[in-house]
Amino acid sequence: MTRIAVGGFLHETNTFAPTKATYADFVHGGGWPAMTHGSDVLKVMRGINVGLAGFVDDAVARGWELIPTIACGASPCATRAGWSSTRSASSCTRRCWR
């Protein structure tokens, strides 16, 4: 059986935006779903207009086993100040699923 680790990171960097995206912005999501981990990724990231949702639907239809990791997003901001913390959360999630 095909096993695939899935997750997502959504952010639009906009050089005209006055603020930076912080870790809290990714936790709360803004216009995106709030940060989710593990099996909640497959529940939250379905039926919405993001690439991960389409991929999950197709993978399920093919009978692939999905190993959910982390999914998060933040509203458009100037830069990703929260990226290192989000990356750390992702690394922790990967270690937990091994």
Looking at residue 74, its pLDDT comes to: 85
Confidence of residue 84 (pLDDT cuts 50, 70, 90): low
Looking at residue 32, its pLDDT comes to: 86
- Return the half-sphere exposure (C-beta side, CA atoms, 13 A cut-off) of residue 46: 12
Tell me the pLDDT tens digit for each residue of 35-73. 999 999 999 988 898 889 999 999 999 999 999 999 998
Looking at residue 86, its pLDDT comes to: 52
Contact residues for 16 (Cβ-Cβ < 8 A; gap 6+): 78
What percentage of the chain reaches a pLDDT higher than 90? 41
Asked whether the whole model's pTM tops 0.75, one would answer no
